[in-house]
């Protein structure tokens, strides 16, 4: 196996950053709050051995998974309905255009008071913030389906049901995934803010615990877990998209997205 120059260049900055971080951190030349990779790995191991890591991970994962599923499912359902039925569209359009520009995190104190410090408040605010991008994407996707496709299918005697499942949904799918991806990114931002501002469990709690007790290695361990969780979720979503949209993406701009 030969190493290509471009591969070497690809790895150059990340690897040298980590090596510099490790060397400077361990030698005590970097500020203490930066910790160093070795200590962070040790902290991760410590958290894993005591089992705290898995409890926190499970809490965060549970919140994201349930909240994101509720938000996405309702966003798709209402968005598709709004795209097809004018009555639904006229009800939701003004509401969404008003609420869309507002960061949903601003509602966090209200959700915290309504649903408490436990899972329910995080799940509901994640679902709330995930709804909007998915709604907008699916509404837009249905509205921009080429009417020729629908007419053609109708002309060949397809029932409204068949038209919906075999024409509208497949044609709208690429846009849908774009909206779902934004929803997923929002979910993690909101989760982080919610766990840091008011929570008793989850990765955010590990981070704030590390800050409070000046255990920067613990803080970074929480940050690393959070980043990995977000990254892996996005990759899974993209893998699902690749499978669902096989052939749809060839030669399009969306096929090249990172």
Partner 1 sequence: MIVQARDILLRWYSIPFLLLTWQIAVGSGLVESRLLPSPLRVWTVFIAEVANGALPYHAMVTVSRALAGFAIAAVIGIPFAALMAQWALWRNLFEPIFFLGYPIPKIALYPIFTYIFGIGAPSKIAFTFLECLYPIVVTCYFGFRGIQTRLVWTAQNMGAGRATILRRVVLPAALPSIFAGLRVALPVSIIVVVITEMIGDSIGLGFYINIWSTRFTFANVYAAIIMIGICGLILDQAMLFIRRRAIYWQKEAA
Binding site residues, partner 1, CB under 8 A: 5-6, 9-14, 31, 33-34, 90-95, 98-99, 101-103, 105-110, 112-114, 185, 188-189, 192-193, 196-197, 207, 211, 219-220, 222-223, 226-227, 230-231, 233-235, 253, 256, 258
CB of 79 to partner 1, least distance (A): 16
DSSP readout, 85-147?
-HHHHHHHHHHHHHHTTS-GGGGHHHHHHHH-SSHHHHHHHHHHHHHHHHHHHHHHHHHTS-H
Nearer to partner 1, 62 or 91 (CB): 91
Q: Which is nearer to partner 1, 4 or 161 (CB)?
A: 4
Nearer to partner 1, 177 or 188 (CB): 188
Find where tokens 């160093």 sit. Answer: 36
Please state the closest distance from residue 228 (CB atom) to partner 1, in A: 8
Query: Cβ closer to partner 1: 87 or 157?
Result: 87
CB of residue 102 to partner 1, shortest distance in Å: 4
Buried/exposed code over 139-166 (b: 16+ C-beta within 10 A; e: otherwise): bbbbeebeeeebeebeeeebeeeebbee
For partner 1, the closer of residues 147 and 258 by Cβ is 258
Using CA atoms, how far apart are residues 90 and 82, in angstroms rounded to an integer? 8
Contact 80, 138 (CB under 8 A): yes
Q: CB of 202: closest distance to partner 1 in angstroms?
A: 12
CA–CA dist 214, 193 (Å, integer) = 20
Give me the least distance between CB of 208 and partner 1, in Å please: 8
Q: What's the rounded Cα separation, in Å, for the pair 72 and 180?
A: 7
């Amino acid at each position: 196996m030969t190493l290509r120059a471009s591969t070497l260049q690809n790895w150059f900055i990340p690897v040298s950053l980590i090596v510099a971080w490790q060397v400077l951190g361990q030698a005590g030349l970097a500020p203490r709050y930066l910790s160093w990779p070795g200590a962070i790995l040790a902290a991760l191991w410590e958290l894993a051995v005591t089992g705290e890591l898995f409890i926190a991970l499970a809490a965060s994962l549970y919140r994201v998974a349930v909240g994101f599923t509720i938000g996405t499912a309702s966003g798709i359902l209402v968005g598709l309905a709004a795209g097809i039925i004018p009555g639904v569209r006229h009800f939701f359009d003004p509401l969404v255009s008003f609420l869309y520009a507002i960061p949903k995190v601003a509602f966090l104190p209200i959700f915290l008071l309504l649903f408490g410090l436990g899972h329910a408040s995080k799940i509901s605010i994640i679902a709330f913030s995930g709804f909007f991008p998915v709604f907008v994407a699916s509404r837009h996707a249905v509205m921009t389906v080429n009417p020729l496709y629908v007419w053609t299918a109708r002309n060949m005697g397809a029932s409204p049901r068949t038209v919906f499942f075999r024409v509208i949904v497949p044609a709208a799918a690429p846009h849908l995934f774009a909206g779902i991806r934004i929803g997923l990114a929002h979910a993690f931002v909101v989760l982080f803010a919610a766990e840091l501002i008011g929570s008793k469990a989850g990765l955010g709690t590990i981070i704030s615990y590390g800050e409070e007790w000046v255990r920067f290695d613990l803080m970074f361990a929480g940050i690393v877990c959070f980043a990995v969780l977000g990254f892996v979720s996005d990759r899974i979503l993209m893998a699902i998209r690749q499978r669902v949209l096989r052939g749809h993406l060839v030669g399009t701009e969306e096929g090249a997205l990172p």
